[in-house]
Amino acid sequence: MFTLYGYGHTILVGALLTLEVCFASLAVAVLLGMLGALSKLSPRLLLSLPAKLYTTVVRGIPDLVLMLIVFYGGQMAVNAIAEKIGHEEYIDVNPFIAGVLTIGFIFGAYMTETFRGAILAVNPGQLEAGRAYGMTGLQIFSRILLPQMMRHALPGFGNNWLVLTKATALVSIIGLNDMVQRASLAAGATHKPFVLYGAVAVNYLLLTTVSIILLKYFEKRYSAGFSREM
């Protein structure tokens, strides 16, 4: 039971891949979220309108459907483009890349909302003071806005992270051999699906629990000097 009928090692390797998907998608999501939040707050319609469209559309479609669009649709588009530029072999879209891009794209929309709220919570006088000192836009962002918005962004960021980690289970559907797919294969071979999927569930619980503990620690650190009333 503890060796999972000899599949313990396989599932552990899959768990590492799941972790990789988690962190890679998080990086994409944070990048898109920051860009989205800054454009959504921009006075220029050319920037704020696409950002608004992005967050509305993504939050209206299930993550599985978006993933299937990117994986199958992307596959078709890549091959159509490759054919036009004279490439003859069939190109397979890597499910890792498709999964990471889709999950990053989806959670970028949620991060946009979180970051937008956090930016709005920073006292505008602080930013004006930065401008008065002659700081460049990038300096104001990295020295004044970012450190202060962290505290407001962390609770929402933590929630998004917890939902994101669970969304990574979907990459098994587009064929990535992550923890879930390996458990499926092992379940087929051993006829013990309950034990194997149970092990995957325990791994996810572990990931969630460790995340919650770390997030609590960071929330405490970043709200040092502020009352707990916030």
Comparing CA positions, the residue from 17, 5, 9, 34 lying closest to residue 180 is 17
Distance CA 201, CA 198 (A): 5
What's at 65, amino acid-wise? V
Closest CB 149 distance from other proteins, rounded Å: 23
Q: Is 43 in the site for other proteins (CB under 8 A)?
A: no
Is residue 185 a contact partner of residue 209, using CB atoms and an 8 Å limit? no
Q: Is 81 in the site for other proteins (CB under 8 A)?
A: no
Cβ atoms within 10 Å of 26's Cβ, excluding its own: 21
The size of the interface with other proteins (CB under 8 A), counted in residues, is 38
Q: Is 205 in the site for other proteins (CB under 8 A)?
A: yes
Q: Out of 16, 27, 49, 61, point to the residue binding other proteins (CB under 8 A).
A: 61
Q: Out of 62, 94, 120, 137, point to the residue binding other proteins (CB under 8 A).
A: 62
Closest CB 114 distance from other proteins, rounded Å: 14
Closer Cβ to other proteins, 201 or 230, answer by number: 201
Closest CB 17 distance from other proteins, rounded Å: 15
Closer Cβ to other proteins, 52 or 146, answer by number: 52
Q: Is 6 in the site for other proteins (CB under 8 A)?
A: no
Q: Is 214 in the site for other proteins (CB under 8 A)?
A: no
Closer Cβ to other proteins, 122 or 170, answer by number: 170
Closer Cβ to other proteins, 26 or 170, answer by number: 170
Q: Is 230 in the site for other proteins (CB under 8 A)?
A: no
Q: Out of 41, 68, 82, 127, point to the residue binding other proteins (CB under 8 A).
A: 68
Binding mask 164-203 for other proteins (x = CB under 8 A): --xxxxx-xx------x---x--x---xxxxx-xx-xx--
Rg (CA), the chain: 21
Q: Out of 20, 63, 113, 219, point to the residue binding other proteins (CB under 8 A).
A: 63
Instruction: List, as one string, the DSSP characters of the chain.
Output: -TTGGGTHHHHHHHHHHHHHHHHHHHHHHHHHHHHHHHHHT-S-HHHHHHHHHHHHHHHHS-HHHHHHIIIIIHHHHHHHHHHHTT--SPPPPPHHHHHHHHHHHHHHHHHHHHHHHHHHHS-HHHHHHHHHTT--HHHIIIIIIHHHHHHHHHHHHHHHHHHHHHHGGGGGTTT--SHHHHHHHHHHHHS-HHHHHHHHHHHHHHHHHHHHHHHHHHHHHHTTTS-TT-
- Give the binding site for other proteins (CB under 8 A): 57, 59-66, 68-69, 72-73, 75-76, 166-170, 172-173, 180, 184, 187, 191-195, 197-198, 200-201, 204-205, 208-209
